[in-house]
């Protein structure tokens, strides 16, 4: 029996960036998506929870104000419902009704660290230079 960790297209973890989203709305989406308990404080501007997908546990960390007014939402598991950051970003943007940002793909040395994808609630997406995106 193979696990999702055997899939080379599946990321080892998922990270997306969200603008200020009410914690209760985020809790609702996390409950629907991975059966997570409500987020609980885990230090200054940090929240944690755990969910499950296909019987495997998924640790979740939310860090408020991670970058330029966006929070980082990190799923520390290869066993999420989404194979990539982009798939998760589309799910979050659609469910939460907000812009979501994510990496272009797997990062390797030499890649431009400022290039991201901006995903919109209507399904639109475009590449952006994050530090310059607001200008």
Q: What is the pLDDT of residue 106?
A: 61
Residue 51 near residue 30, CB atoms below 8 Å: yes
How much is the pLDDT for 48? 97
3-class DSSP state of 77: coil
Domain contains 1: no
Question: How many CB atoms sit inside 10 A of residue 58's CB?
Answer: 23
pLDDT at 4 over 70: no
CA-CA distance, 87 to 33, in Å (whole number)? 12
Residue 3 lies in a domain: no
> Which pLDDT does position 104 carry in this prediction?
85
Please write the tens of the pLDDT for every residue from 36-83. Answer: 999 999 999 999 999 999 999 999 999 998 888 899 999 999 999 999
84 inside domain: yes
Q: Tokens representing 19?
A: 């603008």
Is pLDDT at 19 greater than 60 in this prediction? yes
**Per the domain annotation, does 24 fall within a domain?**
yes
Which domain, by its residues, includes 128? 12-133
Write down the pTM of the prediction: 0.87
Residue 127's pLDDT is what? 93
74-129 residue pLDDT tens: 999 999 999 999 999 999 999 999 999 998 876 555 555 578 999 999 999 999 98
2 within domain boundaries: no
| Residue 7 forms part of a structural domain | no
Domain count, the chain: 1
Split at pLDDT 50, 70, 90, the class of 13 is very high
What sign has the CA pseudo-torsion 133, 103, 63, 83?
Answer: positive
């Amino acid at each position: 029996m193979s696990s999702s960790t055997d899939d080379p297209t599946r990321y080892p973890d998922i990270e997306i960036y969200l603008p200020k989203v009410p914690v209760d709305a985020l809790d609702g989406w996390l409950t629907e998506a991975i059966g997570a308990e409500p987020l609980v404080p885990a230090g200054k501007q940090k929240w944690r929870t755990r969910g499950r997908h296909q019987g495997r546990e998924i640790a979740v960390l939310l860090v408020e104000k991670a970058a330029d007014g966006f929070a980082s939402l990190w799923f520390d598991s290869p066993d999420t419902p989404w194979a990539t950051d982009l798939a998760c970003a589309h799910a979050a943007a659609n469910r939460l009704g907000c812009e979501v940002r994510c990496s272009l793909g797997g990062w390797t040395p030499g890649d431009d660290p400022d290039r991201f994808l901006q995903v919109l609630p209507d399904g639109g997406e475009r590449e952006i230079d994050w530090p310059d995106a607001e200008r």
